[in-house]
């Protein structure tokens, strides 16, 4: 009996050790490429190579000298903010109208609004290029904004739906019983309850917009181009560590937005609801 218990204990410890080792290796596998990019961004050498000697901000100064990087970064931030705002204006009313509706039509409409997540970005970009060109918008900032809004709506929709369905209707019904009209119920009860979902969805929509290349590639112009498109064009002609420096800046922006989401809504809530 004791021998069996000892064997089970050894097997359990061995399993925990193997699981821990696998988790550690997987973490290193994910983080190592990012660490290399950050390390290369501080090299004083003129080419991407490891190991390197010395420490320099040379390639961060290059970001200021090379205007397309700075201009496209500002364009990306401006576009991400605007597309997230438009996505909120579309997704929040839709989520409130469909969130507690159990009809088949409502379910189908929710699935349609969430569909851009499952459709390849290249397909969305090509389809919108044909459609917006027929409308006379062509390749322009407006088309870029429409395209980024299309891919941003599902993220806002999902977070607002999750929050709205979880809070239930008790608070709104109580406010209505106390003589609040529908507008007062929306402003003083519904909005405060779904605000974390709106905020988190908006930040995720911004992250998706900042990182998007496939859709942006179809609608960028000589004067209006996003950062991922400029980075791709830069890599086609040059392969110096400036690309690592701008990648590090982009990662810092992304990490900052994720930290804001974690502090305001919680990343775990987005994956469990």
The predicted pLDDT at position 266 comes to: 65
Residue ranges for the chain with pLDDT beneath 70: 1-2, 48-52, 264-273
Tokens at residue 178, please?
A: 């106390």
| CB contact set of 112 (below 8 Å; sequence gap of 6+) | none
Tokens at residue 9, please?
A: 């204990």
Q: Identify which of 256, 261, 254, 255 has the alpha carbon closest to the alpha carbon of residue 200.
A: 261
Tokens at residue 164, please?
A: 């709205």
The predicted pLDDT at position 86 comes to: 94
CB 214 within 8 Å of CB 122:
yes
The predicted pLDDT at position 104 comes to: 87
| CB contact set of 239 (below 8 Å; sequence gap of 6+) | 47, 48
**Angle formed at CA 140 by CA 134 and CA 146, multiple of 5 degrees:** 75
| CB contact set of 68 (below 8 Å; sequence gap of 6+) | 225, 230, 234
pTM over 0.95: no
| Residues 183-208 pLDDT 10s | 888 888 888 888 888 888 888 888 88
């Amino acid at each position: 009996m004791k021998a069996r218990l000892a064997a089970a204990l050894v097997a359990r410890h061995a399993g925990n050790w193997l699981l821990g080792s696998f988790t550690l290796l997987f973490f290193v596998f994910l983080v190592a490429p990012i660490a290399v990019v950050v390390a290369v961004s501080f090299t004083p050498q003129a080419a991407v190579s490891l190991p390197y000697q010395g420490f320099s901000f040379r390639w961060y100064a290059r970001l200021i000298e090379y205007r397309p990087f700075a201009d496209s970064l500002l364009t990306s931030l401006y576009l991400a903010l605007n597309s997230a705002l438009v996505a909120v204006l579309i997704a929040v009313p839709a989520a409130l109208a469909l969130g507690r509706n159990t009809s088949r039509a409502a379910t189908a409409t929710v699935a349609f609004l969430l569909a851009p997540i499952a459709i390849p970005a290249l397909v969305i970009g090509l389809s919108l290029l044909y459609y917006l060109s027929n409308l006379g918008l062509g390749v322009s900032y407006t088309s870029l904004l429409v395209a980024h809004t299309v891919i941003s709506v599902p993220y806002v929709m999902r977070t607002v739906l999750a929050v709205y369905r979880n809070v239930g209707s008790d608070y709104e019904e109580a406010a209505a019983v106390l003589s609040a009209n529908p507008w007062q119920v929306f402003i003083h009860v519904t909005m405060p309850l779904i605000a974390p979902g709106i905020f988190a969805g908006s930040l995720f929509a911004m992250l998706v917009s900042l990182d998007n290349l496939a859709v942006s590639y179809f609608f960028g112009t000589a004067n209006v181009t996003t950062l991922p498109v400029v980075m791709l064009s830069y890599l086609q002609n040059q392969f110096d560590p400036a690309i690592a420096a701008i990648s590090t800046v982009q990662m810092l922006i992304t990490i900052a937005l994720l930290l804001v989401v974690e502090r305001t809504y919680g990343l775990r809530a987005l994956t469990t609801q």
